[in-house]
Amino acid sequence: MNAIRGLGFRFAGSGIALPRTAIASTEIDARIGRDAGWTEANFQIANRYWAREDETSSSLGAAAGLAALDAAHWNAADIDVLISACGVMEQPIPGNAALLQRRLGIGASGIAAFDVNATCLSFLVALDALLMGMAVGKWRRGLIVSVDLASAALDFAAPEASAIFGDGAAAVAIEAGGPSHMLACRLATYGDHSTLCRLESGGTRMRPDDDLDAFLAAAKFRMDGPALFAATAKRFPRFLRDLLSDSGVPLDTIDTIIPHQASAAALEHLKRSVLGGHAKTLDIFREHGNQIAASMPHALHVARERGLTAPDSHSLLIGSSAGVSLGGAVIRW
Amino acid sequence: MNAIRGLGFRFAGSGIALPRTAIASTEIDARIGRDAGWTEANFQIANRYWAREDETSSSLGAAAGLAALDAAHWNAADIDVLISACGVMEQPIPGNAALLQRRLGIGASGIAAFDVNATCLSFLVALDALLMGMAVGKWRRGLIVSVDLASAALDFAAPEASAIFGDGAAAVAIEAGGPSHMLACRLATYGDHSTLCRLESGGTRMRPDDDLDAFLAAAKFRMDGPALFAATAKRFPRFLRDLLSDSGVPLDTIDTIIPHQASAAALEHLKRSVLGGHAKTLDIFREHGNQIAASMPHALHVARERGLTAPDSHSLLIGSSAGVSLGGAVIRW
């Protein structure tokens, strides 16, 4: 039971932005010295986009934000709050929220802007926070922007932790009052697995002045894929059962599953775990890879474009993240 | 008007943690080639603490968290949510929330853990989010942990952006239901000033592989103090007026002002701006400096220790952050 279900909201708009440069998996093959086709055969990914030169987290995030505002027929100044929901920020200080606010042309407005972070589940936490703020009357119109440039920290010596990642941005505009309800939202964190998926340099612990070589070595993303899969898979059935129980909606009522796009293997596991999962699950992995925090709102944007968020239909948002966390929400549109 | 005032809460406990190593301002004088007494005379700071060796953001943050849990007579497993509210994280992936959860001994619990970030105002945003979640029935007991290790990125060629910073951690335990009410909470962001206070390396934009020298140069905190002061000071009177108006509490009803400890100059400006400000304002700057996100909850902890959060008394939490943002809250205890 969750009192937040009392608040109706309207999914007013959404948008995405992609870097200009598409990187085919054959380019990855060449880079890592494999035969053409190896990456696609192993990871079921054909393409991803990488930011180049002038494309930054804030420029791509703002482009997605403006697309969402345009879809909502809002001006940027119409929003009460901007929540940035990213995995790795453009820079530590200030965070993406302030940079995005400036890029959206509302940098003199005083409109509240802050960041939330749960790595790949950041969008889910931001959506929950936004709807709670609307439920208590704090905000009326909000914009959530997720953007991640995974390409900034990939180590191609580890194909399974590099070949599957792409860059991108997605944004969602939400208005208080309307037909849609978040029926349940859950986040379950297991910090004991915090080393399974990590990027260690870029914060307060690893310091380039202390040991530059160690700093540079730890400036690449590391992932123990099999252990991560095991840690999340074993907890997934109970997590999903609890989430659906919270929502009061049985699994067969879910029309569309909008997952984080962790990997082809993770998506396949999800589809097999859920009755009818192959037909219901939105899968954009082959063309975009894992866009970290941007994956879930990107998939939600695609769902909206395809008419899969029609009134009274039900969506399940679900995924896992570094942490390790499992997260999910049930929405009746 | 803010519907969140309907929820009562209880300030169940608080705690702080400091690094072992106290750094007197005379040590800074020696480091930057000034006469003994120069730093204290110029910045009104006598001491700060710096993390060394094994002291990390998560170890100090967990120590503060355990102190707050102890004060609340809770076990870590009693909480429903852990919100990390820091400026710069220990590492980009996963964020401080997961690392703190592990250090608190609840890394196998599944207790929700995520990060919010508004640099020096992160605690305020986290407290607001926690109370919103309690208002909608989502959480019953929450722990907020703020920790920052400013010493990781200081450039002593710029004394005004280095001599005033200290490391530290603070945590607050909050329970739904109780005598206390947040009467108002505001965050006003002005992203057009995002360059005035910045740390550019450690995210997706500055990349050591592209240009290591540029990366290392931008790995130091930069602050244009006078411009930052001007940007916040000119907006402060209206911000405070709006915040108090939201709260329904006149300024002379405020018993204690619990500010972010930005600098001696900023604290003096605050005290002068508010009738009776010198007597009401909690000032721990001389002994601790600016602890970024940990400053405000540290000051709140001191207020609690001194009996300044007694039932029916009123506190004003207020500060500014990189962004630039102004933030504040009015609480009736």
Query: What tens-digit pLDDT sequence spans chain A (333 residues)?
Result: 344 556 799 999 999 999 999 999 999 999 999 999 999 999 999 999 999 989 999 999 999 999 999 999 999 999 999 999 999 999 999 999 999 999 999 999 999 999 999 999 999 999 999 999 999 999 999 999 999 999 999 999 999 999 999 999 999 999 999 999 999 999 999 999 999 999 999 999 999 999 999 999 999 999 999 999 999 999 999 999 999 999 999 999 999 999 999 999 999 999 999 889 999 999 999 999 999 999 999 999 999 999 999 999 999 999 999 999 999 999 999
Residue B176 structure tokens: 């739904």
Q: What confidence tens digit (pLDDT) does each residue in A245-285 have? A: 999 999 999 999 999 999 999 999 999 998 899 999 999 99
The pLDDT of residue A5: 52
**Largest alpha-carbon pair distance within chain A?**
57
The answer to whether the CB of A192 falls within 8 A of the CB of B108 is yes
Domains and CATH numbers, chain B: 3-178 (3.40.47.10), 184-332 (3.40.47.10)
Confidence label for B275 from pLDDT (cuts 50, 70 and 90): confident
Alpha-carbon span A288 to B291, nearest angstrom: 40
Confidence label for B5 from pLDDT (cuts 50, 70 and 90): low
By CB atoms closer than 10 A (0-12, 13-18, 19+), residue A272 is: exposed
Confidence label for B2 from pLDDT (cuts 50, 70 and 90): very low
B308 touches chain A (CB under 8 A): no
The pLDDT of residue A53: 82
Confidence label for B1 from pLDDT (cuts 50, 70 and 90): very low
Taking only residues 222 to 241 of chain A, the set having a beta carbon closer than 8 angstroms to any beta carbon of chain B reads: 235
Beta partners for residue A327, in sequence order: A187, A319
Q: Tokens 């509302």: give the residue.
A: A106
The pLDDT of residue A44: 98
Closest residue by Cα to residue B327 from A160, A74, A29, A110: A110
Alpha-carbon span A221 to A214, nearest angstrom: 14
- Contact check, Cβ <8 Å, A132/B135: yes
Residue B267 CB partners (closer than 8 Å, separation 6+): B259, B261, B281, B283, B285
* Nearest chain B CA: its distance from A288 CA (Å): 18
Q: What confidence tens digit (pLDDT) does each residue in B114-158 have? A: 999 999 999 999 999 999 999 999 999 999 999 999 999 999 999
Omega before residue B179 within 30° of 0, cis: no
Backbone dihedral region of A82: left (phi > 0), alpha (psi from -120 to 50 degrees) or beta?
beta
* Nearest chain A CA: its distance from B219 CA (Å): 8
- Contact check, Cβ <8 Å, B117/A95: yes
DSSP conformation letters of A257-320: EEE----HHHHHHHHHHSTTHHHHB---HHHH-B-GGGHHHHHHHHHHHTTTT-TT-EEEEEEE
Q: Could you tell me which chain A residue has the CA closest to the CA of B117?
A: A115
Across the interface, which of B94, B101, B117 has its CB nearest the CB of A197? B94
Residue A96 structure tokens: 């993406």
Q: What confidence tens digit (pLDDT) does each residue in A295-316 have? A: 999 999 999 999 999 999 999 9
Taking contacts as CB-CB distances below 8 angstroms, the residues of chain A near B97 are 117-118, 189, 191, 323
The pLDDT of residue A130: 97
* Nearest chain A CA: its distance from B306 CA (Å): 31
Q: What confidence tens digit (pLDDT) does each residue in A92-119 have? A: 999 999 999 999 999 999 999 999 999 9
Alpha-carbon span B58 to B90, nearest angstrom: 7
Given the cut 0.95, state whether the ipTM is greater than it: yes
